[in-house]
C-alpha cells in the first residue's frame, strides 16, 4: 500500500513538473484524465499478471470509457509517466514504457501484424512522443529520445535521438541529452530538408567547376 501511494506521488510530481497548466496536486489528482488512466491501469496490470484476464480487460475498458485512453492491461508502464490530454492514446498489450516518458494525445504504440509474442514497441526512459505520432512494431526507442508530432516510426531509435517524418527518420542530437522538460514539438530538425540542402550545395559546386573547366578550354 505504501508503494502504491509513493508511486502515485511520483506520477503527480511528474505532471506538475512537465505540465505548465498544472496548478496543484489536488487538481491533478481529481481532474487529469492521463493520471486516472494510469491509476486504473495499475490494478488492471496486476490482475493481468495474475491471469485474471477478463477482470483486467473489463477494468481497462472502464478506464477507456472514463478517460478516452486505451491501455491494454498487459502493457508495462513505469513511474513518472505523463499522458498529456490523452484523448485517442492507444497502448498495445506488449508495449513497455520507461520511467519519465511523456506521451501526447493521439499517440499509438501498436503492432504491425498478427504475430505472437512481443509485437509492440518499448520506450526507454525519458522518451517524448509528440501528438499524433505512431510507433509500430516490436523495437526499442532509446532513452532520452523524441518522436515528433505526426511521425510514424517503424524502426529502432538510438538513445538521445530525434525522429521526424512519415516514415520517421532519425536525427542524432550530437553530444547533448534531449531535455523533455522543454516540451518543444515545433523546433525539430527536418532531415529531408537538410539532405536536400546538402545536395543543392554539391550541385552548385559541380556547376561552378564545370564552368571553370569550360573557361579553361576557351
Contact status, residue 147 vs residue 168, Cβ threshold 8 Å: yes
| Domain match, 126 and 109 both | yes
Q: Which pLDDT belongs to residue 108?
A: 95
| Domain match, 91 and 198 both | no
| Domain match, 45 and 125 both | yes
| Domain match, 137 and 198 both | no
Is pLDDT above 80 for 176?
no
Calculate ∠ Cα 163-121-168, nearest 5°: 20
Q: Which pLDDT belongs to residue 106?
A: 93
| Domain match, 156 and 203 both | no
| Domain match, 57 and 162 both | yes
Is pLDDT above 80 for 200?
yes
The reply to whether omega before 180 is within 30° of 0 (cis) is: no
* pLDDT tens digits, 51-86: 999 999 999 999 999 999 999 999 999 998 999 888
Per the structure, the count of domains in the chain is 2
Domain span at 116: 2-187
CATH of the domain at 7: 2.160.10.10
CB atoms within 10 A of CB 200: 10
| Domain match, 65 and 148 both | yes
Is pLDDT above 70 for 187?
no
Give me the mean pLDDT over the 189-208 stretch. Answer: 79
| Domain match, 23 and 71 both | yes
Amino acid at each position: 500500500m505504501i508503494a502504491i501511494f509513493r508511486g502515485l506521488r511520483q506520477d503527480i510530481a511528474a505532471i506538475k513538473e512537465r505540465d505548465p497548466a498544472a496548478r496543484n496536486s489536488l487538481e491533478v489528482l481529481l481532474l487529469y484524465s492521463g493520471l486516472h488512466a494510469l491509476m486504473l491501469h495499475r490494478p488492471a496490470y496486476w490482475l493481468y499478471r495474475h491471469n485474471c484476464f477478463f477482470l483486467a480487460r473489463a477494468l481497462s475498458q472502464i478506464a477507456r470509457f472514463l478517460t478516452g485512453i486505451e491501455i491494454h492491461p498487459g502493457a508495462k508502464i513505469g513511474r513518472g509517466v505523463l499522458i498529456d490530454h490523452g484523448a485517442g492514446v492507444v497502448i498495445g498489450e506488449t508495449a513497455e514504457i520507461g520511467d519519465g516518458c511523456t506521451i501526447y494525445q493521439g499517440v499509438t504504440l501498436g503492432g504491425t501484424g498478427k504475430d505472437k509474442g512481443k509485437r509492440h514497441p518499448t520506450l526507454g526512459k525519458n522518451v517524448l512522443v509528440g501528438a499524433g505520432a505512431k510507433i509500430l512494431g516490436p523495437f526499442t526507442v532509446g532513452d532520452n529520445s523524441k518522436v515528433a508530432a505526426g511521425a510514424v516510426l517503424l524502426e529502432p531509435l538510438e538513445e538521445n535521438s530525434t525522429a521526424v517524418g512519415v516514415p520517421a527518420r532519425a536525427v542524432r542530437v550530437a553530444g547533448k541529452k534531449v531535455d523533455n522538460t522543454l516540451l518543444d514539438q515545433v523546433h525539430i530538425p527536418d532531415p529531408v530538408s537538410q539532405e536536400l540542402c546538402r545536395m543543392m550545395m554539391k550541385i552548385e559546386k559541380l556547376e561552378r567547376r564545370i564552368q571553370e573547366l569550360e573557361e579553361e578550354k576557351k
